[in-house]
A and B are shown apart, each in its own frame.
Chain A
Amino acid sequence: MTDSSRIHIVIPAFNEGSMIASVIDEVRSAGHRNIIVVDDGSADDTFWRAGEKQVIALRHRINRGKGAATKTGIEAAKILGARVIVTMDADGQHDPADIRSLAEPILSGESDVVLGTRLVSPDGMPWHRIAANKIGNFFTWYIYGLWVTDSQSGFRAYSRDAAVQINTHTDHYEYDSEVIYEIKKNRLKYTEVPIKVRYTDYSMGKATKQGFANGLKTLWKMIWNILS
């Protein structure tokens, strides 16, 4: 059985005041107590809502992007002595019941990084999201040289050692692809585990999610990281 005391859950959040409390409740219901919420300079009450739930709430004074907020959470988890660090989205699309299946390969020593993948059984996932993910996978493979089935998934687990070795520099959505590059560079053992996705009107409506323009921006950043 998974020992949840050694698992830290990192939730980067930007303007998720209406959702963050229920996401925290769900994670708690799944048996996890070590929850770190990083408010990425939200204009709403995300930080206060998280604080009310008695979790570790950190706040970026200014918005720095999902990647930057995730990295802050991972740094905090390392300081707090986490053995396994799980990152998940704050919009409720990830099912906390999947945390255990993400953490298990790390706790058993099989893997250093576990990537949650939405594309093994993408039921309910809109076709344009599936297409966008496949394009993202192609460019991640083409630029960084490692093929994975869901390069843009934010639901992942890292061993402590992997979290120390992975040294990202990107701040926004290109962070997810940069992690893939770091896995290859550091020759980390990785596994892909199917995860459930819960696409709701709320999560689909968020303006900051990966749209076409953001996708192009992410691609440009990936190319720039190689050039610079």
Chain B
Amino acid sequence: MPAKIHLYQILVTAISAIMIYQGIVNFWKGRTNQTFLKLFVRIVVWGGMALIAIFPSFTNRLADFVGLKGNINAVILTGFILIFLIIFKLLSAIERLEQQISEVTRKDALKELDKQ
């Protein structure tokens, strides 16, 4: 008897496929800010979601790998770690942008020195 396919499995797989496809296209066309690292993160995050949706039993292997008893706990913990890493990366990027804005603002202000 064939395995029953649930709606969420189709939806998550379709969305993941679209997100990975867009990432590959952006990287292939060399669009601004599309680095290999970003493509890799996209494939890991969305690919991981698709993998769990298609093969729910994969969470048991993940639980064994992480060392937790409950498979759902392992998924949640992994998700938290990923979110933390993403937030850290975002904050770093914002900080870098803030510093660049200050530097541009400073250079612009110092141009006034020549006029005085």
Contact = CB atoms under 8 A, between A and B. Distances in A.
A72 B91 contact: no
Nearest to B114: A79
B112 A169 contact: no
Main SS class of interface, B: helix
Interface in A28-43: 38, 41
A126 B112 CA distance: 39
A62 B116 CA distance: 21
Contacts of A41: 105
B43 to A, nearest CB: 26
Contacts of A61: 105, 108-109
Interface size class of B (residues with CB under 8 A): 10 to 19
Interface string A41-78: 10000000000000011111110110010011001100
B106 A71 contact: yes
Contact of A68 (B91, B102, B116): B102
Contacts of B106: 60, 64, 68, 71-72, 75
Contacts of B73: none
Contact of A75 (B91, B110, B112, B116): B110
B64 interface: no
Contact of A59 (B91, B95, B98, B109): B109
Q: Point out which of A41, A64, A79 has the most chain B C-beta atoms below 10 A from its C-beta.
A: A64
A60 B105 contact: yes
A228 B110 contact: no
A226 interface: no
A184 B90 CA distance: 30
B113 A58 contact: yes
B77 interface: no
Contact of A64 (B92, B95, B105): B105
Interface string A200-224: 0000000000000000000000001
Interface of B: 91-92, 95, 98-99, 101-102, 105-106, 108-110, 112-113, 116
Given A79-B110, A171-B102, 9 more contacts: A38-B109, A58-B113, A59-B109, A65-B102, A68-B106, A72-B110, A75-B110, A76-B110, A228-B91
